[in-house]
Amino acid sequence: MRTLILLALSGLGAQLVDGGLGMAYGVTSTTLLLALGTSPAAASATRCRRRSRSR
């Protein structure tokens, strides 16, 4: 449960940066996910999935 809350908060933080600046969702979310201990492959896959949805 703690992991889910941390992942949700990192997504919220990345979305706030993206909404406020209009950029940097991938950089922010990847950095936060790596800081939380997510594997680099999983963090990278999350960023790519977000990028493909926004097109």
Q: Locate 17 and state its tokens.
A: 């940066």
Contact 29, 11 (CB under 8 A): yes
Contact 36, 6 (CB under 8 A): yes
pLDDT above 60: residue 45: yes
Q: Which pLDDT tens digit goes with each residue over 3-31?
A: 899 889 988 988 888 888 887 788 888 88
- Which residue in 15, 50, 10 sits closest to 33, CA to CA? 10
Distance between CA 45 and CA 1 in Å, rounded? 22
